């Protein structure tokens, strides 16, 4: 009986409150390393919207995990402005860099938000190339969020597959619990 109750509580906590996730790629380096594990608040996103700077887990648009498919023909020099209509079954973890109604462009991997270059000490340089510069500004649609990895040169993100609808957000990552040397808040 005790084992059944404990198992039920553990499953309930993961389903509705806090869920652990493992970092699968280098897209969030240096903030998060491959194999590092984070805790994600699943309850908070039901009551509040993500904010610029939050690190969140979400379902990307369909096509994001394989071929960076955009939901609209990108305007020359602009990041993808529209996701595909359906979501992928995988989970991604990225940082929110723009929210609904914000205007965004990218200069050498740095976010230009509403005309102002953002201070992003957490971000790794992009390293040059066409995926680093999107000088043509787009406006984020209502209810959507523009996501980017902190490792700008090694991240497949909203630049390529568009803003993510808020209803696809799973929750915000608030702490790391593995490896022991990196335990702490995000």
Query: Which residue bears the tokens 């990895």?
Result: 149
Q: Is the pLDDT of residue 1 over 90?
A: no
Least confidently predicted of 22-31, 71-80, 90-99: 71-80
Domain tally for the chain? 1
Residue 13 pLDDT: 52
Q: Is the pLDDT of residue 77 over 80?
A: yes
On whether residue 101 sits in a domain, the answer given is yes
Report how far residue 56's alpha carbon sits from residue 74's, in angstroms, rounded to the nearest whole number.
25
Range list of β-strands (E), the chain: 18-22, 37-41, 55-58, 92-98, 103-107, 110-113, 116-117, 134-139, 144-148, 164-165, 169-178, 184-185
For 15, 46, 56, 173, the CA distances from 10, given in Å and listed in that order, are 9, 20, 22, 19
On whether residue 70 sits in a domain, the answer given is yes
On whether residue 2 sits in a domain, the answer given is no
Q: Mean pLDDT, to the nearest integer, of 129-149?
A: 94
**Alpha-carbon 70 to chain mean position:** 16
**Active centre residues (catalytic):** 27, 94
Domain interval for residue 76: 21-185
Q: Mean pLDDT, to the nearest integer, of 46-59?
A: 88
- pTM of model > 0.85: yes
The most confident of 70-74, 137-141, 171-175, by mean pLDDT: 137-141
On whether residue 12 sits in a domain, the answer given is no
Residue 7 pLDDT: 56
CATH number at residue 106: 2.10.109.10
On whether residue 122 sits in a domain, the answer given is yes
On whether residue 3 sits in a domain, the answer given is no
Least confidently predicted of 15-29, 35-49, 167-181: 35-49
On whether residue 15 sits in a domain, the answer given is no
On whether residue 172 sits in a domain, the answer given is yes
- Residues 15-40: tens digit of each pLDDT: 556 788 999 999 999 999 999 999 99
Residue 48 pLDDT: 75
């Amino acid at each position: 009986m005790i084992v059944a109750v404990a198992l039920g509580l553990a499953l309930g906590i993961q389903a509705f409150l806090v869920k652990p996730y493992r970092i699968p790629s280098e897209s969030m380096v240096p903030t998060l390393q491959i194999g590092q594990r984070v805790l994600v608040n699943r309850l908070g996103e039901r009551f509040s919207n993500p904010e610029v700077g939050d690190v969140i887990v979400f379902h990307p648009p369909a096509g994001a995990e394989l071929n960076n498919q955009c939901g609209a023909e990108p305007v020359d020099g602009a990041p993808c402005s529209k996701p595909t209509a359906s979501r992928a079954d995988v989970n991604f973890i990225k940082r929110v860099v723009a929210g609904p109604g914000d205007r965004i462009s990218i200069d050498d991997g740095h976010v230009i938000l509403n005309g102002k270059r953002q201070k992003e000490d957490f971000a790794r340089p992009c390293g040059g190339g066409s995926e680093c510069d999107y000088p043509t500004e787009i406006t984020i649609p209502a209810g959507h969020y523009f996501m980017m990895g902190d490792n700008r040169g090694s991240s497949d993100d909203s630049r390529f597959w568009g803003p993510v609808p808020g209803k696809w957000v799973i929750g915000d990552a608030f702490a790391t619990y593995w490896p022991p040397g990196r335990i702490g808040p995000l």
